Amino acid sequence: MNTAGNLLLVPLFLSYWSTEVYGEWIALSAAVAYFSTADMGMNRASGNALIKAYQRSEREQYQEIQASALLFYIGMASAVTALAVALCLLLPVTRWLGVVHIPRAAATFVMCLLAGRIMWTMPAGQIWNIFRTTGNLSASQWIVNLQMLGVIGATATVLCLGGGVAALAAWTWSPLLLCALLAWFLVRRSHGDLLPRLRAASLRGVTALIKPSLLFALIMVAMVITLNGPVILVAHLLGGAAVALLVTTRTLANAAGQVPTILCWALWPELTRLDAVGDKAALRTAHTLLVAAYMAISITFVGTLWFEGQGFIGLWTRGHLSVQPWLLRTFLLYVLCQAPWIASSMLAGATNRHRKLAWCQLLAGVGGVVFVAVFLPRLALVAVPMGLFAGEALFCYHFVIADACTLTGTPYRQFATRVWFTLAFVTALTLAMSAAVHRLPIVFLPLRVVIAGAVSVITATAGVWTFLLDQSGRLLIADRFTRNAPGFFGARR
C-alpha cells in the first residue's frame, strides 16, 4: 500500500506543485527523517523480547518489558520533539538544505510538524504491536495500513484542494491520532490484560533492552543515511528538480525490494518463535526459502522495468520529469544485488543476534554516501546508486550472508556460490526474455508492461526453483501447496 501510494502521489504532487517545490518538500522530509533514529532500535528489540515472553507464557515479564519500552518512548518523544523545534527555530536549517522556493517560516513549520509526527508514532506503535507479539500480525499490520492509507488520502485531498506544504504537514497528523485510538479500543476488547500499564515499568526492564536496542539503532541510522543522505547531497549540489527526478526513479526501482521485504517482515515473528524453541532446522529451511523468494521477486521487477521503466516513468509523471534510462537501470541493479543479503539479515534481526549486521550496515551506509559525495559532481545522479552499491558490496554481501549461515548451520561457501550464480544467470535469462517482449509490435505501454511482467515472473520463478532450491526445499513447497490448493479452489470440505 505504501509503495502504491507513493507511485500514485507523484503525479499529483507534480500536477499541483512545481517541480522545485516538490523537490524541496522531499528534502525537508529527508532531513527530519533522521529523528527516527531516536527510536534507538527499541521497537525491534522489545518486539523480539515480547514475542519470546508471550511464547513462554511469562506474562509478568511481558508487562514489564512492554511498560518499560513505552515509558522510554514517551520520554524520548517529548525530549526529541522539543529539541527538533528548538533546532528548526534557532538554526538556518532551510538555508543549509538549499530551500528557496518554500518560505522560511513555512519550511520551519513543516519540519517541526513532520519531526513531531515521526516521534509520537513510536509510543503509539506500542499499542498496536500487541497484536503482533501475540501471533496476530495481520491485525497489527492492518492498523499500520490504515494509517498509511490515511496519510495517502490526506495528502491527495490537500493537494487537490490547493493546499500548500504547511497544510499538508498538519493534516498528516490526523491518521496517527485516529489509528492510535482505534488500536487502544481493539486491544482493550480482545487483550485487555495486555494493555500497557506504566506502573509495571522498571529501570531493569529498560536497561535489559538497551544493548540489543543500540545495535538496532545502528541499523536504523544506516538506513536513514542510505535513504536520505544522497537526497540532501543532491539537493545541495544539484537543486530541487534533480531531487524530484532522483526520488521518483528510486521509488520505482525500490518496488523490487519493497515487495519481498513485506514477505520478510511477515515472517519476522515466526523466526523469533522458532529461535525461542530452538528449532535450528526450521530456521535453516526458512533462510533458504526467504532468499529464494526475495530473489525471484526482485528479478521479476528488474526484468519488467529494465526496458519498459523509462516509458512507465514518462506516463506516470505525465512528462513532467526528464527520464534518464541508465539512472533507473543502475538503481535496479543496486536493488537486485541487495536481495541475498537483505533476506539473510532477517535471521540476525529476528533473533537479536545482530551485532555484526548492525556494524556492516552502518559502514555500508557511511561508505556509500562518501562514494556518492565524491562522484556526484562527475557522474551526476548515476553516482547515487553506484556509490550505494559500492558501499554494500564492500561491507554486506559477504559478511551478512556468512553470519546467517553461521546462525542456521548452513555451509557458507556452497550456499553463497549457489546464490550468486543463480542471481546472475537467472537475471541474464530474464532480461533476454524481456528484450524479446520489448521488441514486439505492441504500442500500448501498459499491455507491454503486463506481458513483460508475466514473462519475467515465469522465468525468474522457474530459474530460482531450478538452480537455488535443493530437493528438500522443492518438496516442502510442493507439499504445502498440495495441502492448501484444494481449499483455494473450493474443493476442501
Predicted local confidence at residue 485, as pLDDT? 53
The Cα–Cα gap between 435 and 321 comes to: 25
Phi, psi (degrees; rounded to nearest 5) at 348: -65, -40
Stated pTM of the model = 0.71
Q: What percent of the chain has pLDDT over 90?
A: 35
Mean of pLDDT over the chain: 86
A 10 A CB-CB count for 164 gives: 17
Average pLDDT over residues 407-413: 91
Amino acid 335: pLDDT: 92
Residue 489 has pLDDT above 50, yes or no: no
Select from 312, 311, 315, 309 the least CA-distant residue to 328: 309
Cα separation, 168 vs 246, in Å, equals 22
pLDDT digits (tens, 9 = 90+) for 87-125: 888 888 888 878 888 888 899 999 999 999 989 998 898
What pLDDT does 380 receive?
87
Among the residue ranges 196-210, 220-234, 341-355, 438-452, the one predicted with the least confidence is 196-210
- Dihedral of CA atoms 461, 465, 466, 471 in degrees, nearest 10, equals -170
| Other Cβ atoms within 10 Å of 129 Cβ, number | 23
Mean pLDDT, to the nearest integer, of 400-420? 93
Alpha-carbon distance 263 to 270, whole Å?
Answer: 12
Per-residue confidence at 176, pLDDT binned at 50, 70, 90?
very high
pLDDT of residue 493: 33
Residue 422 has pLDDT above 50, yes or no: yes
Residues 268-287: tens digit of each pLDDT: 888 888 888 788 888 888 89
- pLDDT, residue 298, reads 93
Question: Nearest-CA neighbor of 421 among 462, 467, 457, 474?
Answer: 467
Long-range contacts of 141-144 (CB under 8 A, 24+ apart): 141/266, 143/179, 143/182, 143/183, 143/186, 144/179
The model's pLDDT over 386-399, given as tens digits with 9 standing for 90+, comes to 999 999 999 999 99
Residue 242 pLDDT > 80: yes
Answer with the residue of higher pLDDT: 474 or 468. 468
The contacts of residue 328 (CB under 8 Å, 6+ apart) are 249, 252, 253, 305, 309, 310, 313
Encode pLDDT of 42-66 as tens digits. Answer: 777 788 888 888 887 888 888 888 8
Between 52 and 180, residue with greater pLDDT: 180
C-alpha cell at 185: 479500543
Q: How confident is the model at residue 492 (pLDDT cuts 50, 70, 90)?
A: very low
